Amino acid sequence: MGCTIVQIDDNFHHEETNPIPLEPSKTVMILAEIARKQIEDFAKAQGFHSVGFAASEEARTYPQFCEWLDLGYAASMGYLEKRRKAYQNPSGVLAGCRTVVLLTLPYQGHCGTNSVIKLGRKRRLGPLSNPTFGSYAAAKVDYHVWIRRKLKPLVRELRTMFPRCMTRAVVDTAPILERHFANQSGLGWIGKNTMLLNRQIGSYFFLCAILTQADIAGNQVPRAKDHCGTCTACLDACPTGAFASPYVLDANRCISYWTIEHRGQIPQAVRPSLGPWIFGCDICQMVCPWNQRINAVIPEEIKPFEVQEKSDCSHWLSLDQDRFDNLYRDTPFWRTGLLSMQRNALIVAANLREPSAFPWIQKFTNHPNQDLVELAHWAIEEYRSGTNQEK
């Protein structure tokens, strides 16, 4: 197995009377199977929905990832290009990695998912008249923090089993093509909206991984079959046409990119397309048929928290830096930053002509940040002209 196994389970006993000798390869396979079962049981006890195992190898989708970068679809996310080579193989993150353990953890989907309008085989959203944000950020604490806390006991368990093996947990920040390996492990397929889809829990879930030098992946399971079929709901619903083609996202046209990743001013031509989205966007998930029939158990720790406040443009415009840090240091909003959140709130308030936000917009004409001053004047003109995202 590449590493010495010290302990599997106190309840596992080998029969001492007339033991039948096993070939070394069969012993390894049995021990790996026991380890997988113990890890899966332990993970589900921690609240994870599903667990998959994939051999650590060069990602089959790595050439497509490189082509995606070369086409400029990563927009200004230069960190992806800087770490391009590391994405080729998990060993770029953990030297000598043999196995990738993939885990899913459902979160509460956007409330608008249940209001999708069906027209024959077509699906569309009704008008979103109130400010809103990506549902993954609805919990009280940043999912990175919470999931790492959940993964620590699993990492300890693996280190107990394989003390000579290095093991590392990764949550959405290390250069690894998690969705590829999740597909390889049978956890789901990559949909036309580029999200990983699972037949039981749709796409409203977090995906994380544990990398280990222990060789416990076992025999390769069949890759999860693509169940998108002829459906194009996600492609049709995207208000910005962010999908260059099925399965290919152009971040330059993605609302989530502009409201979360982009720093600095948002071009005037892009602003109306943000519609009501203060942070992130769930449209391509909301219309997905696989998200209409889920009944996942949501852990208490990541249930939505103070959603109304986070959806309020005036709330964001009223914050100073100290208050923002105090409220949102351990949330996804903190990485985006106060100035960017206020930038987004100014745009959304103008798009929807939110009456309660107008006094705050007027105050921003004297803000020390010149980008926000310019945006405030633009927003006031939008209010006066009566334009919004539906015109």
**Catalytic residue IDs:** 172
Exposed e or buried b for every residue in 207-239, given b needs 16+ CB within 10 A?
bbbbbbbbbbbeeeeebbeeebeebbbbbebbb
Crossing angle, helix 338-352 and helix 370-385, to 10 degrees?
10
| 119 SS3 class | strand
Name residues whose C-beta falls within 8 Å of residue 348's C-beta, 6 or more positions apart in sequence: 131, 274, 275, 276, 277, 278, 313, 354
The Cα 364–Cα 358 span in angstroms is 10
Bridge partners for 245 per DSSP: 248
Location of structure tokens 């590493």:
3
Bridge partners for 104 per DSSP: 50, 207
The Cα 242–Cα 251 span in angstroms is 7
How many other β-carbons are positioned within 10 Å of the β-carbon of residue 184?
25
Closest CA to 46 of 138, 169, 131: 169
| 351 SS3 class | helix
What long-range pairs does 35-40 form, CB within 8 A, spacing at least 24? 35/5, 35/8, 35/161, 35/214, 35/216, 36/216, 36/218, 38/8, 38/9, 38/157, 38/161, 39/101, 39/154, 39/157, 39/158, 39/216
Token pair recorded at residue 194: 């580029």
Bridge partners for 208 per DSSP: 103
| 133 SS3 class | strand
132 phi and psi angles, rounded to 5 deg: -155, 180
The Cα 363–Cα 365 span in angstroms is 5
Token pair recorded at residue 281: 């966007």
The Cα 30–Cα 11 span in angstroms is 15
